[in-house]
Amino acid sequence: MSNSGTSNIELNQLLTAVVNLLHRHIVDANRTQAKSIFNNLESKRVVGLVRLKMADGNTLDTELEMDSTDFIGDLKFGVFRNALTSWMANAIDQLKSEQGLQMLNSEVREEMLFKIPGPVVHEGQLNVMFLSMFQPVPGRLRIRLIFVDPSQFTQEQSGEDATA
């Protein structure tokens, strides 16, 4: 049973734990298990991952969901996994950098969106994944994988380039 006490964890430690969880449950897992998680996510279901034990003795149940509303094209497991792998590589780079983590906070749900893109190109189409986290209830951490509108990441040709 989860403790509902308050635990403090450094953001870098939390993001590192999340990267490790996603790697273990999707990237490094056997294909059948990972694809099952993907199918549940694609069906808009929340997937329970693991219970983390905090240093202070409290526990934190982790769960995963995905919003692929803005994904352009046919989202297949391989494309999903490539986007996640891209996001994880960028997250690791940002964790190693001395710049610190850049985030956006939602006031509506106290959700943290990490400004770490996970770009993937499939059949010539760019899609970009981001990750956010929030606590729906004390003792539970919801990790949300979000595909955003990729048009904001493409550069349009300027008038000069178009006429050259």
Residue-wise pLDDT for 101-142, tens only, equals 777 776 666 889 999 999 999 999 999 999 999 999 999 999
Q: What is the pTM of this model?
A: 0.85
- Tallying the residues shown for the chain, one arrives at 164
Task: Flag whether pLDDT at 12 surpasses 80.
Answer: yes
**Lowest mean pLDDT segment, chosen from 34-38, 71-75, 131-135, 156-160:** 156-160
Distance CA 25, CA 163 (A): 49
Average pLDDT over every residue of 39-61: 92
Distance CA 16, CA 120 (A): 22
